Amino acid sequence: MVDYLTDHEKRYVLPVQHGTRMRAVRHDGERLLVETGSGTWLTRAVISATGTWTRPFLLAVPGRSTSPGGDCTQ
């Protein structure tokens, strides 16, 4: 599984951050300002994933079903 995800990150040149401690996420106009221990970014979405491949744990976050990509439970 690790090899699969590593290949996926490389193939699509995804800006994945590993081992980064998030300090805050705030609205900044139409974007989100993400403050971490290794830098600050502006983004349209933040993905925080946990659980297993077959049993993901989906947090009850306000606006989750209206975010880009829709509801992850479908």
Q: What is the pLDDT of residues 29-62, one digit of tens each?
A: 999 999 988 899 999 888 776 667 677 777 777 7
Categorize the per-residue pLDDT at 70 as very low, low, confident or very high, splitting at 50, 70 and 90.
Answer: very low
Higher per-residue pLDDT: 13 or 56: 13
Distance CA 15, CA 9 (A): 8
Q: Please, what is the average pLDDT of the chain?
A: 78
Cα 37 to Cα 63: distance, rounded to the nearest angstrom: 26
Percent of the chain whose pLDDT exceeds 70: 77
Query: In degrees rounded to 5, what are phi and psi of residue 4?
Result: -60, -50
**Which phi and psi angles does 24 have, rounded to 5°?**
-165, 150
